Chain A
Amino acid sequence: NAGVTQTPKFQVLKTGQSMTLQCAQDMNHNSMYWYRQDPGMGLRLIYYSASEGTTDKGEVPNGYNVSRLNKREFSLRLESAAPSQTSVYFCASRVGQAPNTEAFFGQGTRLTVV
């Protein structure tokens, strides 16, 4: 059981380049999330998808777009990368709106924008 799989694991971009971070889960979860982790800031929510076909902004959505391609996959796109987007990105999934459910995380994508 793979859980949550993110690709790529590492990426270096030049300012202004675009890229898409991929995420897939095989746990039949309804909700999926993208977080970024920065030193001293913890995990901040970028976008989330409560269920297939819906997406909503989190705390720090500027500069990002997302697509919930199907129930399994939730991608994060940077249209024009900026150095401020240098971070570690985590995708997570959760069963959905139910009490006492935890989120499962992927291993992360370390992105550097130069």
Chain B
Amino acid sequence: DQQVKQNSPSLSVQEGRISILNCDYTNSMFDYFLWYKKYPAEGPTFLISISSIKDKNEDGRFTVFLNKSAKHLSLHIVPSQPGDSAVYFCAAAASLTDYKLSFGAGTTVTVRA
């Protein structure tokens, strides 16, 4: 049973607009959340993370929001650029109890010029 869920397999957005990617999790032990970006024929690369002690983390055009009560996080990309077209994976870890990262199924983002 997947503990991290990305229910939108794809997202199409116009260049310059906001991209919002959503992620839900079921394991209440998760306390560290990450977003990865993956281009075709490459390995995933780390994008941004957030600890459960925060509800927002910002890095340039990327902001991650965490709602612990709803077990939900989102990634905002503003403004979206053509180079942002990729697959985005949400991942979570129970950092104090195990070493594993659990991943969602991914959301494919296409930024239209």
Interface of B is mostly: loop
Do B43 and A45 touch (CB < 8 A)? no
The docked-state distance in angstroms from the alpha carbon of A13 to that of B95 is: 37
Question: Does any Cβ of B come within 8 Å of A107's Cβ?
Answer: yes
Flag the segment in B58-66, B67-75, B78-86, B96-104 that touches A. Answer: B96-104
Q: How large is the interface on B (under 10, 10 to 19, 20 to 34, 35 or more residues)?
A: 20 to 34
Chain B residues near A107: list those with CB within 8 A. 41-43
Given A103-B101, A107-B42, A43–B49 Cβ distance below 8 Å?
A: no
The docked-state distance in angstroms from the alpha carbon of A42 to that of B36 is: 11
Question: Does any Cβ of B come within 8 Å of A53's Cβ?
Answer: no
| Tally of chain A residues near chain B (CB < 8 A) | 29
The docked-state distance in angstroms from the alpha carbon of A24 to that of B101 is: 19
Do B51 and A42 touch (CB < 8 A)? no
Do B43 and A108 touch (CB < 8 A)? yes
Chain B residue nearest in CB terms to A97: B99
- What mask results when residues 47 to 63 of chain B are scored 1 for a CB within 8 Å of chain A, else 0? 00101000000000000
B interface vs A, CB < 8 Å? 2, 4, 6, 9, 31-32, 34, 36, 41-46, 49, 51, 89, 91, 95-96, 99-106
